[in-house]
Every structure is written in C-alpha cells, then in structure tokens.
Chain A
Amino acid sequence: MNYKNKPTWMLAAITATILSTTTLVGCGDDADSQIQTTTTDKVVINPDPFPSTYTPIPSTTTLITNVTIIDGIGGMQANSQILMADGKIIGLGADIDTPDDVTIIDGAGKYVTPGIIDTHSHLGVYPSPDTRSHADGNEMTSPVTAQVWAEHSVWPQDPGFQRALAGGVTALQILPGSANLFGGRSVVLKNLPDRTVQDMKFPDAPYGIKMACGENPKRVYGKKGGPATRMANVAGYRKAWIGAAEYKAKWEQYEADVEAGKDVKAPKRDLNNETLKGVLDGDIIVHMHCYRADEMVVMMDVMKEFNYQIGSFHHAVEGYKIADKLAQNNVCASMWADWWGFKLEAYDAIRENIPMVHAAGACAVVHSDSDIGIQRLNQEAAKAWSDGRRAGIDISQADAWQWLAANPAKSLGIFDQTGSLEVGKNADVVLWSADPFSTYAQAEKVYIDGGLAFDRSAPDTWPVSDFELGQIGEGDHK
C-alpha cells in the first residue's frame, strides 16, 4: 500500500519547526506603513514536536559475495552479491562494479535478506524487567486516549531491543496496549538502541494509532462505565469519529478563514482529536487489534462510514475467514504463526492463517507482540510458509519473505525507504548463517543503514543496555 496521503505528510514535515507563520504585508522600515497592514498569526500545529535525532552508526562500503539473496519482493537469486555504501544499497546481482576500498564478506552457503520489520512490539513500553514501575504501555484510565503517544513511554534501555537485533530486526513499531478503543499513537523505531527515544525514531515514518476490538476494552471498562459489550465498543469508535470530524471541520474552517484574510481565532487544541484528525487527514495510520472475522468486517464498515483507512488489523487470528474482504479493502493483517486459545477470541486460530490471507491477495504480515517471538520472526514465517504448502497453498520462500519486511514496511508507511533489497533503498540487511527458513539459521550480521549493528562473530561488539551493565551475564551469549 502506498500510503495515500504521504505527500501531505511530507509537506507537513517540512513545516515541522515552524510553530506559527506571520503574514506581514508591506513590512518595511517605515513605521507608518505598518498601520496599513493586516497582521494575522496563523496557528499551524507542529506535527513533529519530538523530532527524530537518529544518526546511523558509521559504515564502510561493504560487498557480500557468493550469497543467496532473497530481495523481499518476490525475487531469490543464488550466487549473487549485494553492495552497500553510504547507508544505501548501491548494487545487486552477479555483475556489479566494485569500488576499490571495500570490505568484502564471503557469503558462500549463506543468505541475505532485508532486515525484519515488526509491526507489533511493546519493547520499551513493557520492558524487561517486567515491573509495575516500568509498565507504561496501556493508559487504562479511559476507553478513548488517542492523546497519549507511545514514544513518551519508551524506555530505550530495554534489553529486548538488543535481543531483537540479534534476530535480524532492523525496525519496529512500538504500540500502546489494547485495553482502549483508541489506545494512543504508536512510534516507528530503528532498532538501534540509544540514549533517547528520539535517537531511535525512524526519520519521516508516519505516526500510527492503536485501536482495539473485542474482549479487552469490554473487560477493562465493563465495570468502569463501559464499554461493557462489543456493541458499545462500536458506539465508542463512532462517537469519537463524529467528534473528530467536527474538530477537523473547525480547523478547516479556520484555515479557510485565514486564507480569506479574516481575523479569526484558532480553535482550541485538543490532543485526542488532533490524533484522530490526523487519521481522517490520512497522515496517521490505523493499527487495529482485532481477532474475530466478524468484528474486522464491522470495523471496515466503520472505516468507510468515516472515510479513513485501516493500515493493518493486528493479530487477526480469523483473518483466513475474511481474507477476500481484507484484500478488497486494502487492509493488511499482522498475524502470529500459531498462537491460539489463550482467550476465546483466539480460539479459532489455525496454522494456515498467514498463507491463506496471502493467497487471497491480501497483505499478510508476520508480527510478534512478544519480546521472545520478535527474536525469531523468520521462524514464524517459516512455520506459516510450510503449513501453507502442506495445505496445498504453494507460496515460494521469496514471496513469503514479504511477510517479514515489505508488507510490514508498507503497513507502516516506510516502504519507500526500507523493506526490500533494491538499489537506492536503505541498507537494512541481514546476513544469515543458513537458509532463514531453518530453525538452525542465525543472523550473523545485521546492518542498519549500512552500519554493522550486530556481528555474531564479535561478542565484544555486541550492544549492552545500561540495565544489564554490571549485572549477571553482562555481554553474555544472549
């Protein structure tokens, strides 16, 4: 999915640092001339008040030779090469011009893939150690909390980031939890842990919003004023969208008035509606926790009623029952390979969910929602791929890798930068010791923007979080 309003977002980013623009007509040295002027301070909301300060780690020009390349968009090439320089992929294939000053890595018997992108992580917001003091992922005080932003809860010292890196994860979306109908904004991070969350923020990635269907909101709020039922969940979404549409109209009226030269006061800011308006404007992508098929279809009707787009259903354990409708509505499904039965809305999970969604032409994504699962997402894809084949759904490994990078990147609105191995894209690359559809394959080298972020052969270089410094097992084989 090319996110429909990406140009709008990019434009907004350009004005990011300008809090207000002043229109002065005939501004000059002559004080008298100012009397003639109309001065309007047009209030423009800064869409990026916590801007990314990410900088890639230093890199050298690197060539991996004799390697099997899975490009992440359906291609697979044996005995191939990949060349990375200045953070980008600059060459692919058997015949490429090699610069003189280049680090050459022999990839014989090994595999190169795009870095894995996890659309569903709570690293940093539910970090290790799992204590009440650091459990900052779910604002369970009201069913509508679109005003909270996950990035304000991310603890960058969560050791889980380093573990995920060793599993080949180069980017990930951190989501608020699923207690609320509207849980708040997500943030997309480069998996390069640093001092602050801003240091990790994926530059120019759109924001997402977490929404949730089903059991969780009704369980959490059933005795706290509601919603207590699924029908009240839906009433809650619709009420919020009605409010957001009014808010959006007020701002649009204001902007039109300013444009027309009227002296008008800007509407009062409302952080909750600001996020919801971002969805209606097409700038913020909806990521919706939803298990049951029937609920997903209801949500796609709500989506049409209020004219927004759902980027991805998350968990979607019954995606296979409505895979055709997901495809028709251009909505991705972020799924587990085989989690099931921990609650009733996960009771109908099947092992072939991911390949069945893929086979229907919908955008299938393998996600983790787990600090353990995120370390082996390639194995989750391998399970789904092989289960599909045994059920007669013949998908190639090359196509299946779309579930791990290209489709997640599309559903996060960052596919123009990452998610596939193509010349010009960010060099977010994993070198695997063997076929990554094998249990025994391990990420040997993980590159983020061309920088070697993880090198399994050099334990002294492994990143260690502040939390683990001076603790048992610091720098151990994790």
Chain B
Amino acid sequence: MKRLTTLLTLLTLSTSVLANQFAIVGGKVHTLSGQGTLDEATVLIKDGVIESIVSGSDVPLGYERIDAQGKVVTPGFIGAYTALGLVEVGFSAGQVDASTTEHPVTTIGAAIDVSYGINADSTLIPITRMEGFTSAATGIESSEYLFKGQGAFIQLTDDEPLLKPRAFMALSVNNSSASDAGGTRGTLWVALKQILSEAKFAADFRTSNSLIPTQHWHGVSTRTDAQALYDVIRGNSPLLIKADRKADILNIIGLKSEFPKLNIVIVSASDAWRVADKLAAAQIPVILNPEYNLPGAFDTLGATLANAGRLEKAGVKVAIGIETHNIRLATQHAGNAVANGMSYDAALAALSRNVAEIYGMQDTLGSLAKGMRADVVVWSGDPLEVAEAAEHVFIGGQPTKMESRQTLLRDRYLKLQQDKPMGYIRP
C-alpha cells in the first residue's frame, strides 16, 4: 500500500512537471495551414508551441491527454476589431479607455496610443477567452477625430496581455466621420491627404531632428501625430479605414495608388461587394460583420448578407468580427456568412488566419503548424454552430480556466432556494 501511495505521488508529481506537454487527441483538426483539415488527428503541444500535428490518435509518452474524439480543434480565434481591455461597461458607468475627448497632444487623433489603457483584469477577457478567442486587435471605439489612434494586439490572458503595442492605425471616412470632419467628404479627404503628406515628409526627414520642440512645425497634425504615422506611411503598420459606400471605397483604392506603401484594410465595408474585383486587385483586405444587411444610413444602402461570400469569390481576404463585449459571437456571424454563400474554410480563416495576416501576426498565430504558438481550442462540435461551444482553450501552450464572472453568477443562482442569503453562496 505504501508503495502504491509513493507511485501515485510520483505520478502526480510527474504530471505537474510535465504540464508543459499536452496532446489533444483524435479530433477533427482544422489547421488553417498547409496541412488542411484532418478528420482524426492529434495535436502535440510542447513548451508553448505546436510540436506536431499527426493523423490518428497515437500519443507518445509523457503528454497530458485531452480527448478530442468526435470534437473539433481549431486555432484560437482572433477578435478582428474590438475594444477588449479598454472598456468594462460602456455607458454611464465610469471611465472608458475606448473613447476620446479633445486633447492638445493631437489635432487629428493619430497620436492616441491605447496600449497604455489595456486592463488585464477586465472581466471581458475570461468571458471572451472561454468561448474560443485567444487574442484580439483592440482600439478606440468612439472618437470625433478623423483618426481613431493606434490600436494594440493583445492575447486574452490575465497577465501581460500586450503582444504588440501600436499594432495598427485606425481611421474612418464614412458618413459620420465626414460630418465630424468639416461636414463634408470634400474636407475630410483633403485633410487626410494633407496629413499623410505631412507624415511622409516628417518620416523622410526625421533623422535631421526636424521634429524637436525647438524646430517650427506648421502641420495640420501635431508633430506627435506625424510621428505616430511613420510606420503607417512606410507600410509597416496596417491602416484600418472604416468605410461603407462604394464611392468611399474607390477613394481608398485611389489613396493606395497615391501612397503605394500604405497597408490598407477596410473595416465595415457594406458596399464592398460592388467593387470586389478592384479590392482584390489592390490586395486590400476587409474586416466586416456579415450579418449587417440594413440601409442604416445613406452610405450603407447596398448592405447584404451576401457581402462576405461575394468578396471571397472575388479573391478578397475577409476577416469577420467587429464587436467588443460579444466578439465571442463572431463564430455565429461567420456561420451566417456560410449560410449566405461564403465557403466554410474561408469563414474559419476569417476568424483566424486572415486576421493574423492583417496584423502581421501570421508567423505565430492564426493557424496550427509546427512551431506556431499553441493557441488551440477544442470545440464540442462545429464552432460555427450556435449550439456548440468551446470546451478547452489553450493560450501559449497552457490550458486556461473555463470560468468567468458569468459562470460564477450562473452557478450561484442555479438553485434559488437556499437556507442563507445568496451572498453566502460561493460557487
């Protein structure tokens, strides 16, 4: 008996020692990489990365097994356009770091840097993570500036969420932005081109210290704005432009020919299907909500559920997911894109690989392949089905707790008749 106890102790110890190696066994694996979809495969995770993905259910010794028979395995999904970590409760509930008011450091909004505002303790992070989302782009949601500032790319962990500060620059040229920017697109676009020219000038001459405070600067943008645009003007940082109307999208395509280095991504894009071929030719990807199908304004009259599928057919790279508290529903959005003409593989890519590519994270995130970071999700079934759910979520090779403030509230109230006040019931 004593020997058995010792053996068990050893086993327990070895498990904790080996908690760096996991085998997700026998699931249908959508790798989103060159390995395609494997009907029954095993994903081996070691030291935070994918060690291998092999067909079958064989597991070498020394791996903690996670049974995925009959289940579906995908890369961790990526929130394509969110304000995660920047907002807890948006309305009448205190500070929100996803909206801006005027400040002299910026005249156009480009200087804003949300990376200082990311709150790792936000309840949105576990709530989103336990539904299969492991990372996200996050930025300003509401601003009257033309530019919405520099967004960040985060992982949905409780510690050190910031993977890439200043990961993108956001801008809006739709109806409401025109109304804020001098009341007309006639002002907005002139201002935008002027700002980009100033940034280009500043970037070209920055080695000569032209932007030190003792030098004169007479830009429309502040010198901090211009500096924030260096990486954008050189194409190192994507420029996300919110636009819907066909004419606006054509203006954006024109902007790209004028500033060829710009790495432009169009956000929202309800009329994009009408110029799909041109977007494909200009290699401009799109981030959209495929469920948006109403003429909510005079620049979204073409909105249709078929948008995502039509763009895919034309060869446009599509990402799905514009939300914050419920970015977790992007799987449902993608499923509805499939129901309305998008291919299943493209819909999965729209939640993972395409998002990673848009943000330049594709070497580590967005697909499952040897050496990629082990952000892996095991689903009860098809992740795009509303009645299925994530069951295991790995980030950086570590399992995450499938618990959130919402599950704790649920568990407290599952039984209403208690002999003590609810405050004493600790789930």
Contacts and interface: CB of A to CB of B under 8 A. Distances in A.
Interface of A: 128-131, 159-160, 163, 215, 219, 320-324, 338-344, 347-352, 356, 360, 371-372, 375-376, 379, 382-383, 385-387, 390-392, 437-442, 467-468, 471-473, 476-478
A382 B387 contact: yes
Interface in B293-339: 293-298, 301-306, 325-326, 328-329, 332, 335-336, 338-339
Interface string B397-415: 0000000001101100110
A477 B93 contact: no
Nearest to A293: B413
B8 interface: no
B417 A338 contact: no
A124 to B, nearest CB: 13
B339 A439 contact: yes
Interface in B270-308: 271, 274, 291-298, 301-306
Contact of B89 (A323, A342, A392, A468): A342
B89 A341 contact: yes
B334 to A, nearest CB: 9
Given A321-B413, A473-B303, A350 B387 contact: no
Nearest to B340: A477
B326 A338 contact: yes
28 contacts: A129-B296, A129-B297, A129-B298, A163-B294, A219-B92, A320-B413, A321-B416, A338-B326, A339-B326, A340-B326, A341-B88, A347-B93, A350-B409, A350-B410, A351-B410, A379-B336, A383-B386, A383-B387, A386-B389, A438-B385, A439-B336, A439-B339, A468-B301, A472-B246, A473-B301, A477-B341, A478-B293, A478-B304
Given A356-B414, A379-B336, A438-B387, 16 more contacts: A128-B294, A321-B422, A341-B88, A341-B89, A341-B90, A343-B92, A349-B406, A351-B410, A383-B387, A386-B388, A386-B389, A439-B339, A441-B339, A467-B295, A473-B302, A478-B304
Nearest to A393: B414
Nearest to A477: B306
Contacts of B328: 338
B295 A440 contact: no
Contacts of A382: 386-387
Nearest to A473: B302
A228 B302 CA distance: 42
A371 B295 CA distance: 11
Contacts of B409: 348, 350
B410 to A, nearest CB: 5
A67 B304 CA distance: 30
Contact of B291 (A372, A387, A438, A467): A372
Contact of A343 (B89, B292, B303, B407): B89
Interface string B242-270: 00001000000000000000000000000
Which 6 pairs between the two chains have the least Cβ-Cβ distance? A439-B335, A386-B387, A343-B91, A341-B325, A472-B302, A472-B301
A76 to B, nearest CB: 16
B124 interface: yes
B301 A376 contact: no
Contacts of A478: 293, 304-305
Contacts of A371: 294
B384 interface: yes
A215 B92 contact: yes
A351 B410 CA distance: 8
Contacts of B335: 439-440
A440 B414 CA distance: 31
A215 B89 CA distance: 13
Contacts of B389: 386-387, 390
B312 to A, nearest CB: 15
B352 to A, nearest CB: 17
Interface of B: 88-93, 124, 246, 271, 274, 291-298, 301-306, 325-326, 328-329, 332, 335-336, 338-341, 384-389, 406-407, 409-410, 413-414, 416-417, 422
B388 to A, nearest CB: 7
Contacts of B338: 439-440
B324 to A, nearest CB: 9
Contact of B304 (A343, A392, A471, A476): A476
In the complex, which of the residues A338, A344, A360, A473 has the most CB atoms of chain B within 10 Å of its own CB atom?
A: A473
A350 B406 CA distance: 5
A319 B296 CA distance: 32
A314 B181 CA distance: 39
A200 B14 CA distance: 70
Contacts of A340: 325-326, 406
A439 B294 contact: no
A440 B339 contact: yes
Given A129-B297, A439-B332, A343 B271 contact: no
A437 B387 contact: yes
A231 B389 CA distance: 41
Contacts of A392: 414
B89 A128 contact: no
A264 B230 CA distance: 84
Contacts of A472: 246, 271, 274, 301-302
Contacts of A128: 294-296
Contact of B306 (A160, A350, A439, A476): A476
A72 B385 CA distance: 22
Nearest to A371: B294
A383 B335 CA distance: 13
Contacts of A130: 296-297
B337 to A, nearest CB: 10
In the complex, which of the residues A324, A340, A440, A471 has the most CB atoms of chain B within 10 Å of its own CB atom?
A: A440
Contacts of A477: 304-306, 340-341
B421 to A, nearest CB: 12
A229 B271 CA distance: 44
A388 to B, nearest CB: 10
A131 B175 CA distance: 12
B139 to A, nearest CB: 18
A340 B128 CA distance: 12
Contacts of A438: 385-387
A342 B293 contact: no
A351 B301 CA distance: 33
Nearest to B406: A350
B417 A324 contact: yes
B399 to A, nearest CB: 18
A343 B93 contact: yes
A452 B291 CA distance: 25
B422 to A, nearest CB: 8
A358 to B, nearest CB: 13
Nearest to A344: B93
A71 B96 CA distance: 47
A344 B413 CA distance: 19
A320 B406 CA distance: 12
A439 B385 contact: yes
Nearest to A467: B295
Contact of A376 (B88, B93, B336, B406): B336
A339 B93 CA distance: 17
A390 B417 CA distance: 21
Contacts of B386: 379, 382-383, 386, 437-439
